[in-house]
Structure 1
Protein backbone atom coordinates (compact mmCIF):
# COMPACT_ATOMS: atom_id res chain seq x y z
CA UNK A 1 0.00 0.00 0.00
CA UNK A 2 1.29 3.44 -0.92
CA UNK A 3 1.68 6.27 1.55
CA UNK A 4 -0.60 9.27 1.16
CA UNK A 5 2.58 11.36 1.04
CA UNK A 6 5.32 11.65 -1.53
CA UNK A 7 8.44 11.06 0.52
CA UNK A 8 12.07 11.30 -0.50
CA UNK A 9 13.74 8.04 0.52
CA UNK A 10 10.39 6.34 1.10
CA UNK A 11 10.53 2.57 1.58
CA UNK A 12 7.58 1.41 -0.53
CA UNK A 13 9.82 -0.30 -3.11
CA UNK A 14 12.03 -2.06 -0.56
CA UNK A 15 9.54 -3.18 2.09
CA UNK A 16 10.08 -6.78 0.98
CA UNK A 17 13.82 -6.44 1.68
CA UNK A 18 13.06 -5.07 5.14
CA UNK A 19 10.50 -7.76 5.86
CA UNK A 20 12.95 -10.57 5.10
CA UNK A 21 15.37 -9.37 7.78
CA UNK A 22 13.06 -7.84 10.40
CA UNK A 23 12.35 -10.32 13.22
CA UNK A 24 8.59 -10.59 13.71
CA UNK A 25 8.01 -13.91 15.47
CA UNK A 26 6.77 -13.26 18.99
CA UNK A 27 6.81 -9.48 18.40
CA UNK A 28 3.49 -7.69 18.92
CA UNK A 29 4.56 -4.09 18.32
CA UNK A 30 6.60 -2.42 15.59
CA UNK A 31 8.46 0.68 16.74
CA UNK A 32 9.67 3.21 14.16
CA UNK A 33 11.76 6.11 15.52
CA UNK A 34 11.79 7.72 12.02
CA UNK A 35 8.34 6.95 10.59
CA UNK A 36 8.63 9.34 7.61
CA UNK A 37 5.95 8.68 5.00
CA UNK A 38 4.85 5.51 6.80
CA UNK A 39 5.36 2.93 4.04
CA UNK A 40 6.85 0.32 6.38
CA UNK A 41 4.08 0.71 8.93
CA UNK A 42 1.45 0.48 6.18
CA UNK A 43 2.85 -2.73 4.70
CA UNK A 44 3.87 -4.80 7.72
CA UNK A 45 1.35 -6.54 9.96
CA UNK A 46 1.67 -6.13 13.73
CA UNK A 47 -0.86 -5.87 16.57
CA UNK A 48 0.40 -2.41 17.55
CA UNK A 49 2.67 0.37 16.29
CA UNK A 50 4.64 3.10 18.04
CA UNK A 51 5.55 5.64 15.37
CA UNK A 52 7.83 8.57 16.16
CA UNK A 53 9.23 11.38 14.06
CA UNK A 54 10.98 14.66 14.72
CA UNK A 55 8.69 16.50 12.30
CA UNK A 56 5.75 17.96 14.23
CA UNK A 57 3.78 18.71 11.05
CA UNK A 58 4.03 15.08 9.98
CA UNK A 59 2.87 13.73 13.36
CA UNK A 60 0.01 16.25 13.56
CA UNK A 61 -1.13 15.21 10.09
CA UNK A 62 -1.04 11.52 10.97
CA UNK A 63 -3.02 12.05 14.19
CA UNK A 64 -5.66 14.08 12.35
CA UNK A 65 -5.99 11.42 9.62
CA UNK A 66 -6.34 8.84 12.40
CA UNK A 67 -8.95 10.75 14.41
CA UNK A 68 -10.87 12.86 11.85
CA UNK A 69 -10.57 11.02 8.52
CA UNK A 70 -13.93 11.88 6.95
CA UNK A 71 -13.71 15.61 7.64
CA UNK A 72 -10.04 15.81 6.72
CA UNK A 73 -10.42 13.96 3.40
CA UNK A 74 -13.37 16.15 2.43
CA UNK A 75 -11.51 19.37 3.31
CA UNK A 76 -8.22 18.28 1.75
CA UNK A 77 -9.77 17.27 -1.58
CA UNK A 78 -10.76 20.90 -2.22
CA UNK A 79 -7.06 21.81 -2.55
CA UNK A 80 -6.65 19.42 -5.49
CA UNK A 81 -8.60 21.23 -8.18
CA UNK A 82 -6.85 22.71 -11.18
CA UNK A 83 -7.12 26.27 -9.92
CA UNK A 84 -4.73 25.49 -7.07
CA UNK A 85 -2.10 23.81 -9.25
CA UNK A 86 -0.40 27.09 -10.10
CA UNK A 87 2.95 28.45 -9.04
CA UNK A 88 1.56 31.69 -7.59
CA UNK A 89 -1.13 29.86 -5.61
CA UNK A 90 1.43 27.33 -4.35
CA UNK A 91 3.66 30.05 -2.93
CA UNK A 92 0.63 31.79 -1.38
CA UNK A 93 -0.31 28.57 0.38
CA UNK A 94 3.29 27.97 1.42
CA UNK A 95 3.36 31.42 3.02
CA UNK A 96 0.02 30.74 4.71
CA UNK A 97 1.39 27.43 6.04
CA UNK A 98 4.50 29.08 7.46
CA UNK A 99 2.43 31.76 9.20
CA UNK A 100 -0.24 29.41 10.59
CA UNK A 101 -0.27 28.12 14.16
CA UNK A 102 -3.44 26.04 13.73
CA UNK A 103 -2.57 22.33 13.54
CA UNK A 104 -5.60 21.39 11.41
CA UNK A 105 -4.96 24.15 8.87
CA UNK A 106 -1.27 23.28 8.77
CA UNK A 107 -2.13 19.60 8.16
CA UNK A 108 -4.36 20.44 5.18
CA UNK A 109 -1.68 22.69 3.71
CA UNK A 110 1.09 20.19 4.50
CA UNK A 111 -0.63 17.55 2.35
CA UNK A 112 -1.22 20.10 -0.42
CA UNK A 113 2.40 21.28 -0.35
CA UNK A 114 3.67 17.71 -0.26
CA UNK A 115 1.74 16.65 -3.36
CA UNK A 116 2.32 19.89 -5.30
CA UNK A 117 5.93 20.57 -4.21
CA UNK A 118 9.13 19.38 -5.81
CA UNK A 119 9.95 15.67 -5.85
CA UNK A 120 8.59 14.59 -2.49
CA UNK A 121 11.02 16.73 -0.52
CA UNK A 122 10.18 17.88 3.01
CA UNK A 123 12.58 20.66 3.87
CA UNK A 124 12.67 23.61 6.25
CA UNK A 125 15.05 26.54 6.55
CA UNK A 126 16.92 27.41 9.74
CA UNK A 127 14.02 29.60 10.86
CA UNK A 128 11.62 26.65 10.59
CA UNK A 129 9.98 27.84 7.38
CA UNK A 130 8.92 25.25 4.82
CA UNK A 131 10.90 26.09 1.67
CA UNK A 132 10.31 23.36 -0.93
CA UNK A 133 9.75 24.91 -4.41
CA UNK A 134 6.75 24.38 -6.67
CA UNK A 135 6.79 20.99 -8.41
CA UNK A 136 5.18 21.84 -11.77
CA UNK A 137 3.10 18.66 -12.04
CA UNK A 138 0.29 18.51 -14.61
CA UNK A 139 -2.23 16.78 -12.37
CA UNK A 140 -1.19 16.31 -8.72
CA UNK A 141 -2.75 13.15 -7.36
CA UNK A 142 -5.22 13.31 -4.48
CA UNK A 143 -4.55 10.20 -2.36
CA UNK A 144 -8.12 9.58 -1.20
CA UNK A 145 -7.93 5.78 -0.93
CA UNK A 146 -4.48 5.98 0.66
CA UNK A 147 -5.83 8.36 3.31
CA UNK A 148 -8.74 6.02 4.06
CA UNK A 149 -6.45 3.01 4.38
CA UNK A 150 -4.00 4.97 6.56
CA UNK A 151 -6.80 5.99 8.90
CA UNK A 152 -7.99 2.40 9.29
CA UNK A 153 -4.54 1.04 10.03
CA UNK A 154 -3.68 4.00 12.27
CA UNK A 155 -6.25 2.81 14.80
CA UNK A 156 -3.56 0.37 15.98
CA UNK A 157 -0.88 3.08 16.08
CA UNK A 158 0.38 5.73 18.47
CA UNK A 159 2.06 8.73 16.82
CA UNK A 160 4.52 10.81 18.84
CA UNK A 161 6.70 13.77 17.91
CA UNK A 162 10.26 13.45 19.16
CA UNK A 163 13.88 12.45 18.67
CA UNK A 164 14.65 8.77 18.13
CA UNK A 165 15.58 8.58 21.81
CA UNK A 166 11.88 9.11 22.54
CA UNK A 167 11.08 5.83 20.83
CA UNK A 168 13.89 3.85 22.44
CA UNK A 169 12.89 5.13 25.89
CA UNK A 170 9.46 3.49 25.54
CA UNK A 171 10.44 0.01 24.37
CA UNK A 172 8.71 -3.11 25.64
CA UNK A 173 9.86 -6.71 25.70
CA UNK A 174 7.60 -7.67 22.77
CA UNK A 175 8.82 -4.87 20.46
CA UNK A 176 10.85 -4.91 17.29
CA UNK A 177 12.44 -1.67 16.05
CA UNK A 178 12.94 -0.49 12.47
CA UNK A 179 15.05 2.65 11.96
CA UNK A 180 15.14 4.67 8.75
CA UNK A 181 17.34 7.62 9.79
CA UNK A 182 18.39 10.44 7.45
CA UNK A 183 20.99 8.65 5.35
CA UNK A 184 24.73 9.22 5.43
CA UNK A 185 25.63 11.07 2.21
CA UNK A 186 27.09 9.19 -0.73
CA UNK A 187 29.22 12.25 -1.43
CA UNK A 188 29.36 15.86 -0.16
CA UNK A 189 26.96 17.11 -2.85
CA UNK A 190 24.25 14.57 -2.00
CA UNK A 191 23.81 15.44 1.67
CA UNK A 192 20.06 15.54 2.36
CA UNK A 193 20.33 15.00 6.11
CA UNK A 194 18.95 18.47 6.89
CA UNK A 195 15.56 17.35 8.14
CA UNK A 196 12.84 19.29 9.93
CA UNK A 197 15.22 22.20 10.36
CA UNK A 198 17.87 20.05 12.02
CA UNK A 199 20.92 18.15 10.82
CA UNK A 200 21.50 14.45 11.44
CA UNK A 201 25.24 14.11 11.93
CA UNK A 202 27.74 11.23 12.00
CA UNK A 203 27.62 11.47 15.78
CA UNK A 204 23.85 10.99 15.65
CA UNK A 205 24.36 7.90 13.48
CA UNK A 206 26.77 6.52 16.09
CA UNK A 207 24.35 7.38 18.91
CA UNK A 208 21.59 5.47 17.11
CA UNK A 209 23.78 2.36 16.91
CA UNK A 210 24.44 2.75 20.63
CA UNK A 211 20.72 2.62 21.33
CA UNK A 212 20.37 -0.40 19.07
CA UNK A 213 23.10 -2.16 21.07
CA UNK A 214 21.31 -1.33 24.34
CA UNK A 215 18.03 -2.68 22.96
CA UNK A 216 19.85 -5.84 21.85
CA UNK A 217 20.99 -6.40 25.44
CA UNK A 218 17.30 -6.41 26.41
CA UNK A 219 16.52 -8.94 23.66
CA UNK A 220 14.72 -6.29 21.56
CA UNK A 221 15.92 -6.49 17.92
CA UNK A 222 16.64 -3.34 15.90
CA UNK A 223 17.01 -3.10 12.12
CA UNK A 224 18.64 0.01 10.60
CA UNK A 225 18.65 1.19 6.96
CA UNK A 226 21.32 3.41 5.41
CA UNK A 227 23.48 4.04 2.37
CA UNK A 228 26.37 1.61 2.10
CA UNK A 229 29.43 3.86 2.14
CA UNK A 230 32.80 3.78 3.91
CA UNK A 231 31.36 5.41 7.04
CA UNK A 232 28.44 2.99 7.42
CA UNK A 233 30.57 -0.02 6.54
CA UNK A 234 32.62 0.77 9.63
CA UNK A 235 29.63 1.93 11.68
CA UNK A 236 27.69 -1.32 11.35
CA UNK A 237 30.58 -3.78 11.62
CA UNK A 238 29.23 -4.89 14.99
CA UNK A 239 25.79 -5.79 13.64
CA UNK A 240 24.54 -9.34 14.18
CA UNK A 241 23.59 -9.61 10.52
CA UNK A 242 23.52 -7.31 7.50
CA UNK A 243 22.16 -7.29 3.98
CA UNK A 244 23.18 -5.27 0.92
CA UNK A 245 20.94 -4.40 -2.01
CA UNK A 246 20.57 -1.78 -4.72
CA UNK A 247 17.81 0.80 -4.94
CA UNK A 248 16.89 3.50 -7.46
CA UNK A 249 17.35 7.01 -6.09
CA UNK A 250 15.38 9.89 -7.61
CA UNK A 251 16.42 12.96 -5.59
CA UNK A 252 18.50 14.41 -8.40
CA UNK A 253 16.84 16.94 -10.68
CA UNK A 254 18.76 15.59 -13.66
CA UNK A 255 17.80 12.20 -15.03
CA UNK A 256 21.41 11.04 -15.21
CA UNK A 257 21.64 11.58 -11.44
CA UNK A 258 18.85 9.09 -10.84
CA UNK A 259 21.02 6.03 -10.52
CA UNK A 260 21.03 2.88 -8.47
CA UNK A 261 22.89 3.11 -5.18
CA UNK A 262 23.81 0.46 -2.66
CA UNK A 263 22.02 0.32 0.66
CA UNK A 264 22.60 -1.71 3.80
CA UNK A 265 20.23 -3.21 6.35
CA UNK A 266 22.01 -3.79 9.66
CA UNK A 267 20.35 -6.00 12.27
CA UNK A 268 21.14 -5.90 15.97
CA UNK A 269 19.61 -8.96 17.62
Structure 2
Protein backbone atom coordinates (compact mmCIF):
# COMPACT_ATOMS: atom_id res chain seq x y z
CA UNK A 1 0.00 0.00 0.00
CA UNK A 2 1.49 3.30 -1.14
CA UNK A 3 1.70 5.82 1.70
CA UNK A 4 -0.52 8.87 1.38
CA UNK A 5 0.51 12.24 2.72
CA UNK A 6 -1.89 14.56 4.51
CA UNK A 7 -2.66 17.90 2.86
CA UNK A 8 -1.74 19.73 6.09
CA UNK A 9 1.69 20.00 7.66
CA UNK A 10 1.41 18.90 11.28
CA UNK A 11 3.78 18.94 14.25
CA UNK A 12 3.91 15.36 15.52
CA UNK A 13 2.27 14.01 12.35
CA UNK A 14 2.45 10.25 11.93
CA UNK A 15 3.36 9.91 8.24
CA UNK A 16 6.84 8.54 9.01
CA UNK A 17 5.53 6.09 11.60
CA UNK A 18 2.42 4.94 9.78
CA UNK A 19 3.80 1.57 8.61
CA UNK A 20 4.65 0.65 12.20
CA UNK A 21 1.29 1.86 13.51
CA UNK A 22 -0.54 -0.17 10.84
CA UNK A 23 1.42 -3.23 11.91
CA UNK A 24 0.13 -3.00 15.50
CA UNK A 25 -3.39 -1.66 14.98
CA UNK A 26 -5.92 -4.46 15.61
CA UNK A 27 -8.48 -5.37 12.97
CA UNK A 28 -12.03 -4.10 13.30
CA UNK A 29 -14.87 -2.42 11.44
CA UNK A 30 -14.34 1.14 12.68
CA UNK A 31 -11.26 3.16 13.61
CA UNK A 32 -11.76 5.90 16.20
CA UNK A 33 -9.13 8.65 16.49
CA UNK A 34 -9.76 11.13 19.34
CA UNK A 35 -6.67 13.16 18.31
CA UNK A 36 -6.89 13.01 14.52
CA UNK A 37 -4.51 15.90 13.72
CA UNK A 38 -3.77 15.97 9.98
CA UNK A 39 -5.09 12.42 9.59
CA UNK A 40 -2.09 10.38 8.43
CA UNK A 41 -3.28 7.20 10.16
CA UNK A 42 -6.80 7.62 8.78
CA UNK A 43 -5.40 8.13 5.27
CA UNK A 44 -3.22 5.02 5.43
CA UNK A 45 -5.59 2.42 6.90
CA UNK A 46 -8.57 0.56 5.48
CA UNK A 47 -11.37 0.33 8.02
CA UNK A 48 -14.99 0.28 6.87
CA UNK A 49 -15.73 3.51 8.74
CA UNK A 50 -13.99 6.16 10.83
CA UNK A 51 -14.90 8.41 13.75
CA UNK A 52 -12.30 11.19 13.74
CA UNK A 53 -12.16 13.90 16.37
CA UNK A 54 -10.13 16.82 17.62
CA UNK A 55 -10.68 19.71 20.01
CA UNK A 56 -9.58 22.17 17.31
CA UNK A 57 -12.85 23.50 15.93
CA UNK A 58 -11.19 25.03 12.85
CA UNK A 59 -9.66 21.69 11.90
CA UNK A 60 -12.92 19.74 12.17
CA UNK A 61 -14.94 22.38 10.31
CA UNK A 62 -12.33 22.29 7.55
CA UNK A 63 -12.55 18.49 7.24
CA UNK A 64 -16.35 18.60 7.10
CA UNK A 65 -16.36 21.30 4.40
CA UNK A 66 -13.80 19.44 2.29
CA UNK A 67 -15.87 16.26 2.64
CA UNK A 68 -19.14 17.94 1.63
CA UNK A 69 -18.03 20.16 -1.28
CA UNK A 70 -14.52 19.13 -2.40
CA UNK A 71 -14.47 20.57 -5.94
CA UNK A 72 -15.78 24.00 -4.98
CA UNK A 73 -13.56 24.13 -1.90
CA UNK A 74 -10.34 23.16 -3.73
CA UNK A 75 -11.03 25.64 -6.55
CA UNK A 76 -11.64 28.46 -4.08
CA UNK A 77 -8.48 27.54 -2.17
CA UNK A 78 -6.30 28.00 -5.28
CA UNK A 79 -6.96 31.75 -5.15
CA UNK A 80 -4.84 32.01 -1.99
CA UNK A 81 -1.92 30.01 -3.37
CA UNK A 82 -0.63 32.76 -5.66
CA UNK A 83 2.98 34.07 -5.63
CA UNK A 84 1.85 37.49 -4.36
CA UNK A 85 0.50 35.81 -1.20
CA UNK A 86 3.88 34.28 -0.37
CA UNK A 87 5.12 37.56 1.10
CA UNK A 88 5.13 38.73 4.73
CA UNK A 89 2.73 41.64 4.15
CA UNK A 90 0.12 39.42 2.48
CA UNK A 91 0.60 36.65 5.05
CA UNK A 92 0.00 38.94 8.04
CA UNK A 93 -3.01 40.57 6.37
CA UNK A 94 -4.58 37.17 5.66
CA UNK A 95 -3.72 35.95 9.14
CA UNK A 96 -5.70 38.92 10.52
CA UNK A 97 -8.61 38.10 8.21
CA UNK A 98 -8.59 34.53 9.56
CA UNK A 99 -8.40 35.66 13.17
CA UNK A 100 -11.30 38.10 12.99
CA UNK A 101 -13.57 36.38 10.47
CA UNK A 102 -16.77 34.62 11.60
CA UNK A 103 -17.23 33.06 8.15
CA UNK A 104 -16.35 29.40 8.65
CA UNK A 105 -15.90 28.68 4.93
CA UNK A 106 -13.37 31.51 4.61
CA UNK A 107 -11.66 30.45 7.86
CA UNK A 108 -11.28 26.91 6.51
CA UNK A 109 -9.68 28.13 3.29
CA UNK A 110 -7.35 30.41 5.23
CA UNK A 111 -6.51 27.64 7.72
CA UNK A 112 -4.87 25.70 4.87
CA UNK A 113 -3.23 28.84 3.47
CA UNK A 114 -1.73 29.65 6.88
CA UNK A 115 -0.67 26.05 7.45
CA UNK A 116 1.26 25.96 4.19
CA UNK A 117 2.79 29.45 4.47
CA UNK A 118 3.56 29.75 8.19
CA UNK A 119 6.70 28.72 10.06
CA UNK A 120 7.09 24.92 10.03
CA UNK A 121 3.38 24.39 9.49
CA UNK A 122 2.73 24.89 13.19
CA UNK A 123 -0.80 25.30 14.51
CA UNK A 124 -0.71 27.57 17.54
CA UNK A 125 -3.18 29.99 19.08
CA UNK A 126 -2.60 32.58 21.80
CA UNK A 127 -4.68 32.86 24.99
CA UNK A 128 -7.22 34.98 23.12
CA UNK A 129 -7.71 32.21 20.56
CA UNK A 130 -5.83 34.06 17.80
CA UNK A 131 -3.57 32.12 15.41
CA UNK A 132 -0.10 33.56 16.02
CA UNK A 133 2.48 31.52 14.06
CA UNK A 134 4.80 33.80 12.04
CA UNK A 135 5.46 33.78 8.29
CA UNK A 136 7.51 30.80 7.10
CA UNK A 137 9.62 32.40 4.33
CA UNK A 138 9.47 29.48 1.88
CA UNK A 139 10.83 30.10 -1.63
CA UNK A 140 8.08 28.03 -3.20
CA UNK A 141 4.76 26.82 -1.86
CA UNK A 142 3.29 23.45 -2.77
CA UNK A 143 -0.44 23.35 -3.48
CA UNK A 144 -1.61 19.97 -2.16
CA UNK A 145 -4.39 19.35 -4.71
CA UNK A 146 -3.74 15.62 -5.02
CA UNK A 147 -3.72 15.20 -1.23
CA UNK A 148 -6.90 17.27 -0.82
CA UNK A 149 -8.75 15.14 -3.38
CA UNK A 150 -7.60 11.89 -1.80
CA UNK A 151 -8.68 13.08 1.65
CA UNK A 152 -12.10 14.22 0.38
CA UNK A 153 -12.73 10.87 -1.28
CA UNK A 154 -11.72 8.84 1.77
CA UNK A 155 -13.66 11.18 4.07
CA UNK A 156 -16.94 9.89 2.64
CA UNK A 157 -16.55 6.94 5.05
CA UNK A 158 -15.68 9.17 8.01
CA UNK A 159 -17.50 11.24 10.59
CA UNK A 160 -15.62 14.28 11.93
CA UNK A 161 -16.54 15.69 15.33
CA UNK A 162 -15.13 18.39 17.61
CA UNK A 163 -15.09 16.85 21.08
CA UNK A 164 -12.70 15.97 23.94
CA UNK A 165 -11.07 12.55 23.82
CA UNK A 166 -13.07 11.12 26.75
CA UNK A 167 -16.37 11.68 24.93
CA UNK A 168 -15.00 10.29 21.69
CA UNK A 169 -13.56 7.10 23.19
CA UNK A 170 -16.84 6.36 24.95
CA UNK A 171 -18.61 6.25 21.57
CA UNK A 172 -16.78 3.02 20.70
CA UNK A 173 -18.97 0.03 19.90
CA UNK A 174 -18.32 -3.64 19.28
CA UNK A 175 -15.67 -4.07 16.54
CA UNK A 176 -14.34 -0.51 17.07
CA UNK A 177 -10.59 0.09 17.41
CA UNK A 178 -9.18 3.24 19.04
CA UNK A 179 -5.89 4.91 18.11
CA UNK A 180 -4.76 7.74 20.43
CA UNK A 181 -2.05 10.19 19.40
CA UNK A 182 -2.14 12.75 22.23
CA UNK A 183 0.16 15.81 22.40
CA UNK A 184 3.42 14.20 23.48
CA UNK A 185 5.33 14.47 26.69
CA UNK A 186 8.82 15.65 25.82
CA UNK A 187 11.69 13.13 25.78
CA UNK A 188 13.41 14.74 28.78
CA UNK A 189 10.15 14.84 30.78
CA UNK A 190 10.05 18.65 30.73
CA UNK A 191 7.03 20.60 29.53
CA UNK A 192 7.69 19.88 25.87
CA UNK A 193 5.20 20.33 23.05
CA UNK A 194 2.01 19.90 25.06
CA UNK A 195 0.29 23.22 24.34
CA UNK A 196 -2.35 22.10 21.87
CA UNK A 197 -4.97 24.40 20.41
CA UNK A 198 -6.03 26.43 23.49
CA UNK A 199 -5.61 23.49 25.81
CA UNK A 200 -2.70 22.14 27.81
CA UNK A 201 -2.23 18.39 27.77
CA UNK A 202 0.06 17.73 30.72
CA UNK A 203 0.87 14.82 33.03
CA UNK A 204 -2.58 14.61 34.59
CA UNK A 205 -4.29 14.32 31.20
CA UNK A 206 -1.84 11.61 30.13
CA UNK A 207 -2.65 9.68 33.30
CA UNK A 208 -6.39 10.02 32.69
CA UNK A 209 -5.94 8.86 29.10
CA UNK A 210 -3.97 5.77 30.14
CA UNK A 211 -6.65 4.89 32.74
CA UNK A 212 -9.40 5.28 30.16
CA UNK A 213 -7.45 3.11 27.69
CA UNK A 214 -7.26 0.39 30.38
CA UNK A 215 -10.99 0.63 31.03
CA UNK A 216 -11.96 0.54 27.34
CA UNK A 217 -9.76 -2.49 26.67
CA UNK A 218 -10.16 -4.58 29.80
CA UNK A 219 -13.78 -3.80 30.74
CA UNK A 220 -15.38 -2.94 27.40
CA UNK A 221 -13.27 -5.19 25.16
CA UNK A 222 -12.31 -2.32 22.81
CA UNK A 223 -8.62 -2.40 21.78
CA UNK A 224 -6.70 0.87 22.20
CA UNK A 225 -3.31 1.76 20.72
CA UNK A 226 -1.56 4.84 22.19
CA UNK A 227 1.62 6.52 20.93
CA UNK A 228 4.07 8.74 22.81
CA UNK A 229 7.78 9.37 23.28
CA UNK A 230 9.65 6.41 24.75
CA UNK A 231 10.78 7.54 28.21
CA UNK A 232 10.96 5.99 31.67
CA UNK A 233 7.86 7.98 32.55
CA UNK A 234 5.76 6.78 29.60
CA UNK A 235 6.84 3.18 30.18
CA UNK A 236 5.55 3.53 33.75
CA UNK A 237 2.43 5.29 32.50
CA UNK A 238 1.59 2.48 30.09
CA UNK A 239 2.78 -0.42 32.26
CA UNK A 240 -0.69 -2.04 32.17
CA UNK A 241 -0.72 -2.25 28.38
CA UNK A 242 -0.69 -5.77 26.95
CA UNK A 243 2.22 -4.91 24.65
CA UNK A 244 4.78 -2.09 24.46
CA UNK A 245 6.47 -1.60 21.10
CA UNK A 246 9.36 0.73 20.33
CA UNK A 247 9.87 2.59 17.06
CA UNK A 248 12.44 5.11 15.93
CA UNK A 249 11.20 8.24 14.24
CA UNK A 250 12.67 11.54 13.13
CA UNK A 251 10.75 14.44 14.57
CA UNK A 252 10.33 17.43 12.28
CA UNK A 253 9.67 20.31 14.63
CA UNK A 254 13.18 21.80 14.65
CA UNK A 255 13.90 24.42 11.98
CA UNK A 256 17.56 23.42 11.99
CA UNK A 257 17.91 20.26 9.89
CA UNK A 258 20.91 19.19 11.94
CA UNK A 259 18.83 19.45 15.09
CA UNK A 260 16.26 16.93 13.90
CA UNK A 261 17.39 13.97 15.88
CA UNK A 262 15.86 10.53 15.96
CA UNK A 263 13.77 9.96 19.04
CA UNK A 264 12.41 6.59 20.04
CA UNK A 265 8.65 6.36 20.19
CA UNK A 266 6.51 3.95 22.15
CA UNK A 267 3.28 2.28 21.06
CA UNK A 268 1.21 0.89 23.92
CA UNK A 269 -1.42 -1.67 22.93
CA UNK A 270 -4.29 -2.35 25.30
CA UNK A 271 -6.43 -5.32 24.21
Question: Which TM-score tier does this pair reach, normalised by the shorter chain?
Answer: over 0.9
Instruction: Say if 2:5 and 2:40, in contact at 8 Å, map to a contact too.
Output: yes
Q: Who is 1:147 aligned against?
A: 148
Q: How does 1:19-168 map to 2 (within 5 A)?
A: 19-24=22-27, 27-168=28-169
Q: Is 1:12 the equivalent of 2:42? A: no
Residues of 1 paired with 2:36 and 2:80: CA distance? 25
TM-score, structure 2 normalization: 0.96
Residues of 2 paired with 1:255 and 1:47: CA distance? 39
- The Cα of 1:190 is off from its aligned counterpart by 6.8
Residues of 2 paired with 1:162 and 1:220: CA distance? 19
Structure 2 unaligned spans of 5+: none
Q: Deviations over 1:225-257 (max 9, x none)?
A: 000112101101111001001111121122332
- The Cα of 1:212 is off from its aligned counterpart by 0.7
**CA root-mean-square deviation:** 1.1
TM-score, structure 1 normalization: 0.97
Residues of 2 paired with 1:73 and 1:166: CA distance? 31
Instruction: Say if 1:59 and 1:161, in contact at 8 Å, map to a contact too.
Output: yes
- The Cα of 1:78 is off from its aligned counterpart by 1.0
Report SS of the residue matched to 1:80: coil
Question: Where does structure 1 differ by over 4 angstroms across 4 or more consecutive aligned residues?
Answer: none
Residues of 2 paired with 1:235 and 1:118: CA distance? 33
- The Cα of 1:207 is off from its aligned counterpart by 0.6
